[in-house]
Amino acid sequence: MPTPHPLSPPSSWVERFAPLVRAGGRVLDLACGGGRHLRLFQRRGHPVVGLDCDLGGVADLDGGADITLVQADLESGDSGFSPESLPVDGRFAGIVVTNYLHRPLFPAILAALEPGGVLIYETFADGNARFGRPSSPDFLLRRGELLEAVRGTLQVVAFEQGEISVPKPAVVQRICAVAGDDPLPL
């Protein structure tokens, strides 16, 4: 049996805003990969849903209490799902997306948040090519693109774009935003 790959620690951005997600509320980790954020929210007492085209990185969680794993390729029609929809039922108190970008999903992601639900999104942005992959504009956010994606729908709690050095040099864009107009207790 191969030795499991050690998990990367959760993103500091996700950890910073995780407490804003309603206690006990269901959380979706979109493109969950190895499940670092799925595991973070599960440890925090949230029922979690991990969605990815390859669930190999979270196979050890299969069958766990309050853990739902959904295998789906959101970028092709081969999975039986529309590339503009999410193959999960209901709405979420939190949705986490890191290191993944498929623009047609933005409306579905926003619609899947319950009132007061928190979106925590962090991925690569224009300028990242000088640090390596991803380098294609198809996979890099344009300047201010996450702000535009949530405008008129979510209340922005925090937004950043620029270079980071940890966990590795990259250009990223990240946002934390909440569904609804009520101010958050910070």
Token pair belonging to 162: 């620029």
Q: What percent of the chain has pLDDT over 70?
A: 88
**Would you tell me how many other CB atoms lie within 10 Å of the CB of residue 83?**
15
Q: Which residues pair with 172 in a beta bridge?
A: 124, 162
The 10s digit of each residue's pLDDT in 1-27 is 333 445 789 999 999 999 999 999 999
Strands 92-98 and 27-30: parallel
pLDDT at 86 over 80: no
Structure confidence at residue 49 (pLDDT): 95
pLDDT at 29: 97
Q: What SS3 state is found at 3?
A: coil
The closest alpha carbon to 102, from 51, 141, 69, belongs to 141
At 147, is the secondary structure helix, strand, or coil?
helix
Q: What is the pLDDT of residues 107-134, one digit of tens each?
A: 999 999 999 999 999 999 988 989 889 8
CATH classification number, 12-179, choose in 3.10.450.50, 3.40.50.300, 1.20.210.10, 3.40.50.150: 3.40.50.150
- Would you say 51 and 140 are in contact if contact means Cβ atoms under 8 Å apart? no
Q: How confident is the model at residue 182 (pLDDT cuts 50, 70, 90)?
A: low
d(CA 125, CA 181): 28
Tens digit of pLDDT for each residue in 129-148?
Answer: 898 898 888 889 999 999 99
166 or 67, greater pLDDT: 67
Provide the 3-class DSSP secondary structure of residue 109.
helix
